[in-house]
Structure 1
Amino acid sequence: MTTTASDQVAWFRQTSPYIHAHRCKTLVVMLDGDVFAGEAYKRIVSDLTLLNSLGLKIVVVFGVRHEVERVLADRSQASHLHHGVRVTDETAMDVVARLAGAWRARLEARFSMALPNSPMHNSAVKVCSGNFVTARPVGVLDGVDLCLTGTVRRVHAEALREQLSLGYIVLIPPTGCSMTGELFNLTVEETASAVAQALEADKLIVYAREPVLCGPDGKGCRELTVGEARTLARSLPVDGEARRKLDAACRALENGVGRVHWIGWSGDGAILEELFTRDGVGTLITDESYEQVRMATIEDVASILELIRPLEEGGVLVRRSRERLEQEISHFVIDERDGAVIGCAALHPLEEEAAELACVAVRSDYAGKGRGERLLSRVERLAREQGIRTLFVLTTQTAHWFLEHGFEPASPESLPVKRQQTYNWQRNSKVFVKRLD
């Protein structure tokens, strides 16, 4: 096998857990008009088509603000904004409607040709659009009549879900009809956020000019809580594009959306690298104020005991006394949701740059929703910070879960010597190992 082929095989193996984790997940993608100024949208369409072929459910909400401004400027017509929102008179609305329709058709055409020009030739790509968003007029703000500028009144979530379940990529333009039949101009930021909230989407993908959000010190932020994102937003110009996007992202997170990924539209394959690599390329924003994975403290002992007791009684976990747990509490991480411990895991350092992952547990009513993956990710990050290169796990009933998350079968003899001496042959746990890069 050549070096290039070997690298490709290794890459595919590394991404397979992410592919598995994202299958059947719902993504709402925010594309503003900036994307359409060059060739970037063509690459993005190809990437989204690939994600669709991997089983992801995709809604694309696109805007045409910059195209509208260009057309109005070419006609020597004034472009009026109020707090960053267009005052949409009938002339501007005609331009918005025409451009929204034109770009919807272009996107449909591009999605239709994306796969024939790829190794996935003959794979069908289904695209649809429709009146999934009902709008109403914004009205008068600060004494300014915004005319045909609208705001989202309702998102027809069930109709959207039906199309997504049939495998369609759904396109939503920056316009919405009212109950009286009027057409209104909507902002892409509000529309994408509202659609993501209505669908309770797993992720909102924000394509932006900036490839990563930067703090006041100018340094890139790889991860932000929604509180930190709100603070950062307040430091940005009120009428600025980044402020509008960030405010919309925070609203989504505060209303049921799982995560927001902020990525640059100029980078080739940015969404693939963001979703299918450990560190990603953009900024991840999560609502950690409500749920967070953190290091355990002595105050968490009782909650952890309550969590793991049913698993101990079922033989899934080794029994731990309260005294032992108190002694080992510094090795534990927990998943805390609204003050309740719903998951835990422990990292026990061994010799030879190795450690044991132990006591992985998630409350039954939260199982199968990605909590185990979050705990594993946090433990692996801690292990790397401690210079650990090899992670072992011993299990009797959850072997397949660890196999699906990058562990490989091993033998008790592969354990470090001291851990071999304490291996319980009567319990006969299966041993798995994972090499940390």
Structure 2
Amino acid sequence: MSNVFNFTFVPWFRSVAPYIHKLRGSTVVVGVAGEAIAAGKLPLIAQDLALIQSMGVQIVLVHGFRPQVNEQLQAKGHEAKYSHGMRITDSVALDCAQEAAGQLRYEIEAAFSQGLPNTPMAGATVRVISGNFITARPVGLIDGVDFIHSGLVRKVDTEGIQRTLDMGAMVLLSPFGFSPTGEAFNLTMEDVATSIAVALQADKLMFLTEVPGIALDAGAPHPAKDSEIDTELPLADAKKLLTALPQATQPTDTAFYLQHCIRACEGGVERSHILPFAVDGALLLEIYTHDGIGTMVVDEKLESVREATMDDVSGIVALIEPFEKDGTLVKRDRTEIERDAGNYTIIEHDGVIFGCAALYPYPEARTGEMAALTVSPDTQSQGDGERLLKRIETRAKAQGLQSIFVLTTRTMHWFLKRGFVQVNPDWLPEARKRKYNWDRKSQVLVKKIG
């Protein structure tokens, strides 16, 4: 049993390492919907946030309190009123919001103070600091509706928040703000989290909500209830989708969180995320795995195909090593890869290399060898192999080559489907024929590109 555990744990932990390194020192703003706390998810969310912080991430946590305020209103026999997707906060609702915020802040601080032995919080020292970091202004009148004590963020005390984060503390904020005259305003968690993320130029804005993300067919006239989630949505596509959607009036509407993600990205936040709190560990899955669990809105596609540099050698070695061990690829020394780094094309996603291929030209024969074509098992069947092949063909044409060839023992059919034809090893350029391993019996396949 122990050996099986080791076999799965070690490769998994190593695969997470690039994300841990990349996010160390970054700033993440997390907006947790009040529904998540009402559903009893707070202890697990606190454990995950404490773990993320322990790996060097600065965290600003903003909590929502819609269901808690509504519960307080109901207890007082007062009706909850909304318009334009916002709460109309009269004096009774403001009192309820203040009571709910006080109770939630107490619960959140208690969750981060746990440290029993043999629990995920054992040894975790999370200092949580709150403060009057938000200056607010009234929403005022919209279409004749007076929102009374409902407000919007006017200004964020970025210096105060950053100083607190630099002390090693987690910043906790309720959706409240105060005017310069001391008047309190009820804000929305989404507005506060987005405004803080933009003001801090945070690396990520993450909404932990009751919705799983943005469905792939969200813009269709009749989207399916069980449609797959779009894990990565470029900002341009997100904006186009938002214009096609009806105006959001409640948090479960597709446009509700999407509009805040778009605003954050337009304001300079690199990535904004919509995650389901119903999935245990959603924050960890989104931050530390390739595809994540919800929808990420990003200013541009994070995946890029480019030529390798010396800085990429370690990533290339780590990628191809398992395929060399199982015999799919011929063993290459690190020094050889360092020497030939300029021959490699890589596919990089969010700073992690997920695919590579090398081009070795034989100008005298007007051909070139495509070698070490590798795609990570995590992203196979997503078209990365085709993208690498296309880039290698482009590089070969630019060098005046008329064909490319590959030597393979296991993946012949993949190449045949993409226009390669099998030839006798005697076809190989003389210089390559001298290095051909007749014992390995690799098949030679050629594709014309001229």
The aligned counterpart of 2:259 is 247
Provide the C-alpha distance between the structure 1 equivalents of 2:347 and 2:372, rounded to a whole number of angstroms: 18
| 8 A contact 1:261–1:282 mirrored in 2 | yes
Provide the C-alpha distance between the structure 1 equivalents of 2:27 and 2:54, rounded to a whole number of angstroms: 13
- 1:218-240 deviation per Cα after TM superposition (whole angstroms, max 9, x unaligned): 43211101222223334144213
Cα shift at 1:143: 1.4
Provide the C-alpha distance between the structure 2 equivalents of 1:213 and 1:273, rounded to a whole number of angstroms: 17
- 1:141-197 deviation per Cα after TM superposition (whole angstroms, max 9, x unaligned): 111211111110100011111111111111010111110001100011111100000
- 1:395-422 deviation per Cα after TM superposition (whole angstroms, max 9, x unaligned): xxxxxxxxxxxxxxxxxxxxxx999x78
Percent identity reads: 35
Q: 1:114 to 1:211 in 2, by over 3 A?
A: farther
The aligned counterpart of 1:221 is 230
Q: 1:109 to 1:292 in 2, by over 3 A?
A: closer
The aligned counterpart of 1:67 is 68
Provide the C-alpha distance between the structure 2 equivalents of 1:282 and 1:102, rounded to a whole number of angstroms: 29
Q: 1:115 to 1:163 in 2, by over 3 A?
A: farther
Candidates 268, 275, 298, aligned match of 1:286: 298
Amino acid at match of 1:256: G
The aligned counterpart of 2:199 is 198
Candidates 270, 277, 293, aligned match of 1:265: 277
1:104 aligned onto 2:105: yes
Provide the C-alpha distance between the structure 1 equivalents of 2:295 and 2:116, rounded to a whole number of angstroms: 29
The aligned counterpart of 1:366 is none
Provide the C-alpha distance between the structure 1 equivalents of 2:341 and 2:74, rounded to a whole number of angstroms: 72
Cα shift at 1:348: 3.3
Provide the C-alpha distance between the structure 2 equivalents of 1:142 and 1:66, rounded to a whole number of angstroms: 26
Q: 1:200 to 1:185 in 2, by over 3 A?
A: same
Provide the C-alpha distance between the structure 2 equivalents of 1:4 and 1:10, rounded to a whole number of angstroms: 11
SS at match of 2:31: strand
Provide the C-alpha distance between the structure 2 equivalents of 1:118 and 1:49, rounded to a whole number of angstroms: 12
Provide the C-alpha distance between the structure 1 equivalents of 2:158 and 2:339, rounded to a whole number of angstroms: 41
The aligned counterpart of 1:152 is 153
Q: Cα RMSD (Å) of the superposition?
A: 3.9
| 8 A contact 2:133–2:157 mirrored in 1 | yes
| 8 A contact 2:137–2:185 mirrored in 1 | yes
Which residues in structure 2 correspond to 1:118-197 (within 5 Å)?
118=119, 121-197=122-198
Amino acid at match of 2:284: L
Cα shift at 1:385: 5.5
Amino acid at match of 2:232: E
| 8 A contact 2:357–2:370 mirrored in 1 | no
Candidates 241, 246, 250, aligned match of 1:232: 241
Amino acid at match of 2:183: E
Provide the C-alpha distance between the structure 1 equivalents of 2:200 and 2:380, rounded to a whole number of angstroms: 31
Q: 1:268 to 1:224 in 2, by over 3 A?
A: same
Amino acid at match of 1:11: W
The aligned counterpart of 1:85 is 86
Cα shift at 1:333: 7.2
Q: 1:148 to 1:294 in 2, by over 3 A?
A: same
| 8 A contact 2:347–2:388 mirrored in 1 | no
Cα shift at 1:121: 2.3
1:354 aligned onto 2:372: yes
The aligned counterpart of 1:432 is none
| 8 A contact 2:72–2:100 mirrored in 1 | no
Amino acid at match of 2:111: R
Provide the C-alpha distance between the structure 2 equivalents of 1:164 and 1:237, rounded to a whole number of angstroms: 36
The aligned counterpart of 1:300 is none
| 8 A contact 1:132–1:160 mirrored in 2 | yes
Cα shift at 1:120: 5.6
Where structure 1 has 5 or more consecutive residues not aligned to the other structure, the ranges are: 297-303, 309-315, 336-344, 358-376, 389-416, 423-437
The aligned counterpart of 1:276 is 288
| 8 A contact 1:58–1:164 mirrored in 2 | yes
Q: Which stretch of structure 1 is more off in the superposition, 167-176 or 272-281? A: 272-281
| 8 A contact 2:305–2:388 mirrored in 1 | no
Q: Which stretch of structure 1 is more off in the superposition, 3-12 or 171-180? A: 3-12
TM-score after normalising by structure 1: 0.70
Amino acid at match of 1:264: P
Structure number with larger C-alpha Rg: 2
| 8 A contact 2:44–2:281 mirrored in 1 | yes
Amino acid at match of 1:188: M
SS at match of 2:29: strand
SS at match of 2:114: helix
Q: 1:197 to 1:140 in 2, by over 3 A?
A: same
SS at match of 1:228: helix
Q: 1:270 to 1:292 in 2, by over 3 A?
A: closer
Which residues in structure 2 correspond to 1:353-392 (within 5 Å)?
354-355=372-373, 383-384=384-385
| 8 A contact 1:353–1:387 mirrored in 2 | no
Q: Which stretch of structure 1 is more off in the superposition, 236-245 or 65-74? A: 236-245
| 8 A contact 1:176–1:184 mirrored in 2 | yes
- 1:279-323 deviation per Cα after TM superposition (whole angstroms, max 9, x unaligned): 2111111012xx765568xxxxxxx9xx99xxxxxxx99798xxx
| 8 A contact 1:133–1:155 mirrored in 2 | yes
Provide the C-alpha distance between the structure 2 equivalents of 1:349 and 1:60, rounded to a whole number of angstroms: 48
Where structure 2 has 5 or more consecutive residues not aligned to the other structure, the ranges are: 310-337, 350-354, 361-368, 390-424, 433-450
Cα shift at 1:119: 5.1
Provide the C-alpha distance between the structure 2 equivalents of 1:142 and 1:90, rounded to a whole number of angstroms: 21
Q: 1:3 to 1:183 in 2, by over 3 A?
A: same
| 8 A contact 1:58–1:170 mirrored in 2 | yes
SS at match of 1:131: coil
Cα shift at 1:71: 2.0
Q: Which stretch of structure 1 is more off in the superposition, 207-216 or 184-193? A: 207-216
1:22 aligned onto 2:26: no
Cα shift at 1:257: 0.4
Provide the C-alpha distance between the structure 2 equivalents of 1:148 and 1:80, rounded to a whole number of angstroms: 12
